[in-house]
A and B are shown apart, each in its own frame.
Chain A
Amino acid sequence: MVTELNLEGKAPADIDDAAPLFGEGLGLDSLDALQLAMSVEERFGVRIPEGPEARPIFASVDALVAHIVSCASG
Chain B
Amino acid sequence: MRIWVTGIGVVSPLARGAGETMDRLLAGDRAVGSLALFHLPGSRVDIAAEVRDLRVSAVAPGGDAEGWSRTDAMGVIAAREALAQAGLDPRGAAVDLILGGTTAGMFETEAPLAELSRELLPDASTPHFIPPEAVAPLRRMLSHPLSSTADHVDSAAGPFRQVRTVCSACSSGANAILLAAAWIRAGRSRAVLAGGADGLCRLTYSGFGALAALSPEPCRPFDRRRAGLNLGEGAAFLVLEPEEAARARGARPLVELRGWAVGAEANHITNPEASGETAARVMLAALARAELSPADLDYVNAHGTATSLNDSMETAALRRCLGADADRVPVSTCKGQIGHTLAAAGAIEAAVTAMAIARGVLPPTIGLEEVDPACVLPHVTVQRPARIRAAMSNSFGFGGTDTVLVLAEVGAFPAPALAPTRPVVVTGAATVGPLGVLGVEGSRAYLDPGPEPSPGPIAFQASAHLDVARARRLDRAGKLTTTAIARAMAEARLEMAPRAITEAITEAITEAITEAITEAITETATRAERIGAVVGSAFGSIEGCTAFMRRVYDKGPKFASPADFPNLVPSSPVGHASIYLGLRGPVFATCDLEASAESAIATAVELLGAGEGDAIFAGSVEEASPMIERCLGPICSGITDRGARSEGAAVLLLEAEETAVRRGARVLARVAWWRSWRSAGTGGPRPLAEAPRPSSPGTCAVFLGRDDERVRRALEGSAWAEVPRRSVAARAGDHEGAGGFAAAAAVGALAAGEIESALLLGLAPDRGYAVLLVRPSTETT
| Contacts from A to B (Cβ < 8 Å) | 5-10, 29-32, 34-35, 38, 41-42, 50
Contacts of A42 in B (CB 8 A): 555, 559
Provided the pairs A41-B559, A50-B212 are in contact, do residues A6 and B271 lie with their beta carbons within 8 angstroms?
no
B558 touches which one: A5, A10, A35, A41 (CB < 8 A)?
Answer: A41
Interface check B140, CB cutoff 8 A: no
B423, CB-defined interface residue at 8 Å: no
Structural contact, A8 and B268, CB atoms closer than 8 A = no
CA distance A31 to B565 in the complex (A): 11
Residues of A within 8 A of B563 (CB): 5-6, 31-32, 34-35
**Beyond the given A5-B563, A32-B563, could you list 12 further A-B residue pairs with CB under 8 A, ordered by the A residue number?**
A8-B469, A9-B469, A29-B268, A30-B271, A31-B269, A31-B473, A31-B563, A35-B562, A35-B563, A38-B210, A38-B559, A38-B560
In the A-B complex, list the 9 residue pairs whose CB atoms are closest, starting with the nearest: A8-B468, A34-B562, A35-B563, A6-B472, A8-B472, A9-B469, A35-B562, A42-B559, A9-B468
Indicate whether A31 sits within 8 Å of B271 (C-beta atoms), given known contacts A6-B473, A8-B468.
Answer: yes
- Contact between A31 and B468, CB atoms less than 8 A apart: no
Residue B270 at the chain A interface, CB threshold 8 Å: yes
Give the size of the chain B interface in residues (CB under 8 angstroms): 21
| Chain B residues packing against A (C-beta within 8 Å) | 210-212, 268-271, 463, 468-469, 471-473, 555, 558-563, 566
Q: For residue A50, which residues in chain B have a CB less than 8 angstroms away from its CB?
A: 212
Chain A positions within 8 Å of B472 at CB level: 5-8
For A30, what are the chain B residues with a Cβ–Cβ distance below 8 Å?
271
**In the complex, how many angstroms separate the beta carbon of B752 from the nearest chain A beta carbon?**
37
CB-CB < 8 A to B562: which residues of A? 31, 34-35, 38
A-side contacts of B271, CB under 8 Å: 29-31
Chain A residues, CB < 8 A from B270: 31
Which residues in A have their C-beta under 8 angstroms from that of B468? 8-9
**Given the complex, which residues of A lie within 8 Å of B212, measured CB to CB?**
34, 50
A42–B562 alpha-carbon span in the complex (Å)? 13
Contacting residues, chain B, for A41 (C-beta < 8 A): 558-559
A22, B566: Cα distance in complex, Å: 20
Give the distance in Å from the alpha carbon of A31 to the alpha carbon of B399 in the complex. Answer: 13
Count chain A CB atoms within 10 A of each CB in B210, B469, B562 and give the residue with the most: B562
In the bound complex, CA of A35 to CA of B563 (Å): 6
* A38: chain B residues within 8 A (beta carbon): 210, 558-562
State in angstroms the CA–CA spacing of A38 and B271 once bound together: 18
Tell me if B268 and A34 are in contact (CB < 8 A).
Answer: no
For A6, the chain B residues whose CB sits under 8 A away are 472-473, 563
Complex: how many Å from CA A8 to CA B472? Answer: 6
Candidates B269, B463, B555, B561; contact of A35 at CB < 8 Å: B561
11 A-B pairs with C-beta separation under 8 A: A5-B563, A6-B473, A7-B472, A8-B469, A31-B269, A31-B563, A34-B562, A35-B563, A38-B558, A38-B562, A41-B558
Output the least CB separation between B472 and chain A (Å).
4
> Residue of A at shortest CB range from B560?
A38
Residues in B neighbouring A7, C-beta threshold 8 A: 469, 472
Give Cα A31–Cα B463 distance, bound, in whole angstroms: 23
Please, how many angstroms separate the alpha-carbon atoms of A35 and B211 in the complex?
9
Which residue of chain A has its CB nearest to the CB of B270? Answer: A31
* Chain A residues whose CB sits within 8 angstroms of the CB of B268 once the complex forms: 29, 31
Q: A41-B558, A42-B559 are in contact. Are A34 and B210 (CB under 8 A)?
A: yes
Shortest C-beta distance, B269 to chain A (Å), equals 7
Tell me the minimal C-beta distance from A2 to chain B in angstroms: 10
Which residues of the partner chain B approach A34 to less than 8 Å between Cβ atoms? 210-212, 562-563
B657 to chain A, nearest CB (A): 40
Bound together, the chains give a CA A41 to CA B561 distance in angstroms of 12
Residues of B within 8 A of A9 (CB): 468-469
Q: CB-CB < 8 A to A10: which residues of B?
A: 469
- Bound together, the chains give a CA A35 to CA B253 distance in angstroms of 50
> How far apart are A15's CB and chain B's nearest CB, in angstroms?
13
> In the complex, what distance in Å separates the CA atom of A8 from the CA atom of B555?
26
Of listed B211, B212, B555, residue having the most chain A CB within 10 A: B212
A36 to B561, CA, bound (A): 10
**Smallest CB-CB separation from A51: which chain B residue?**
B212
A-side contacts of B463, CB under 8 Å? 8
What is the CA–CA distance of A6 and B564 in the complex, to the nearest angstrom? 11
